[in-house]
Amino acid sequence: MTETIAEIEIPDSALAAEATELVREAASPLLFHHSRRVFLFGSLQGRRLGLRADPELLYVGAMFHDLGLTETYRRTDQRFEMDGADEARRFLTAHGVPETDIRLVWEAIALHTTPEVPYRLEPEVALVTAGVETDVLGIGYGELAPEQIAEVTAAHPRPDFKRQILAAFTEGFKDRPDTTFGTVNADVLEHFVPGFRHIDFVEVIENSDWPS
């Protein structure tokens, strides 16, 4: 029987089920519930914005978007967003998903912390970001019906979420601080890692090898 939360159907294909189990095994309950809310809030925002995404692709994008914060899938040589995007590519390729669809999911995950740009791209890309922005930043929160929000959070609770997600972010990239250059992630490290100072773009230009 298809699971429905806030009038949003959770994809019940074999691929979606495997994605769910992969994330459930790799991620903490915090990240698992957050990822499911990202799908649900992204879908709800899509209805509001008139954007129709392929539910299965949106689901994989939402579920994999924070895998780079987990011990299993995190690396130390690239942005955490790309860890999840790369794993989604491997997962979808193994399931014979067409490259055009894989690219959508990869971009959805890789760009989910990049403001504005995703909304100019395909719905699958835009709505992963919309779900993240609703759940983490509260953007679009007031545009959703209170009963929708209540149903989503009843199914996937978020106790002490603000503090816990910031701790998960810090733990997820404190050992690769240079990868936060030019991203919102540098703000997290400046707040929670003593002595960290973000790479300054102006200083990079001024101190480059060019004589003038």
Give, for all 212 residues of the chain, the pLDDT tens digit: 789 999 999 999 999 999 999 999 999 999 999 999 999 999 999 999 999 999 999 999 999 999 999 999 999 999 999 999 999 999 999 999 999 999 999 999 999 999 999 999 999 999 999 999 999 999 999 999 999 999 999 999 999 999 999 999 999 999 999 999 999 999 999 999 999 999 999 999 999 999 99
Q: Which two tokens stand for residue 95?
A: 């399931």
Residue 1: its pLDDT value, please? Answer: 74
Residues with Cβ within 8 Å of residue 101, at least 6 apart in sequence: 54, 57, 92
Residue 188 and residue 169 in contact, taking contact as beta carbons nearer than 8 Å: yes
Angle made by CA atoms 122, 126, 132, in degrees to the nearest 5: 155
CA dihedral 75, 79, 83, 88 (to 10 degrees): -170
C-beta neighbour count of 181 within 10 angstroms? 14
Measure CA of the first residue to CA of the last residue in the chain; give whole Å: 66
In 157-208, DSSP assigns E strands to: none
Give the global pTM. Answer: 0.96
pLDDT at 46: 98
Given this model, what pLDDT does residue 90 score? 98
- Give the dihedral of Cα atoms 144, 150, 152, 157; nearest 10 deg: 130
DSSP β-bridge partners for residue 122? none
